[in-house]
């Protein structure tokens, strides 16, 4: 059983604040690391799929970094807006015969207050 952990569990920030959260995973079972954003009553939406150690990806005000040797990824949101309020999930794909199996972390619930 793969253990994917996210911290913090929840986060409240003010509009305009920058924030970050962490996803940690067993480095020995790494093939790809996914980040998803899940807004209430909507479908989870893929943000990034990261595969290379040292990779950094960016989408607007959101960026992510990856360290496969130590088994962690950071997600950063610059200048948070109320519409960024959502649950942010990371998921590990272990490769091999995983056939697309993703193991999700518990998620970080972000609330951005106007």
Partner 1 sequence: DTEVTQTPKHLVMGMTNKKSLKCEQHMGHRAMYWYKQKAKKPPELMFVYSYEKLSINESVPSRFSPECPNSSLLNLHLHALQPEDSALYLCASSQVADGNEQYFGPGTRLTVT
Could you tell me the two tokens for 95?
Answer: 């490769």
Closest approach of partner 1 to the CB of residue 92, in Å: 10
Residue 44 tokens, joined: 């989870």
Residue closer to partner 1 (CB basis): 63 or 98: 98
Cα 2 versus chain centre, distance: 16
Least separation in angstroms between CB 51 and partner 1: 8
Residues forming the site for partner 1 (CB under 8 A) = 31-32, 34, 36, 41-46, 49, 51, 89, 93, 95, 98-107
CB of 87 to partner 1, least distance (A): 9
**Residues 82 and 15 sit within 8 Å (Cβ to Cβ):** yes
Closest to 5 in 3D by CA, of 27, 51, 19: 27
């Amino acid at each position: 059983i793969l253990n994917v952990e996210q911290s913090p569990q929840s986060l409240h920030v003010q509009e305009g604040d920058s924030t970050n959260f962490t996803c940690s995973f067993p480095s020995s079972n790494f093939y790809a690391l996914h980040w998803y954003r899940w807004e209430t009553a909507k479908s989870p939406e893929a943000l990034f799929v990261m595969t290379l150690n040292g990779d950094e990806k960016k989408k607007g005000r959101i960026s992510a970094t990856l360290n496969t040797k130590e088994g962690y990824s950071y997600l950063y949101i610059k200048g948070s807006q109320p519409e960024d309020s959502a649950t942010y999930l990371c998921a590990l794909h272990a490769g091999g015969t995983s056939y697309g199996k993703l193991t999700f972390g518990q998620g970080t619930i972000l609330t951005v207050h106007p």
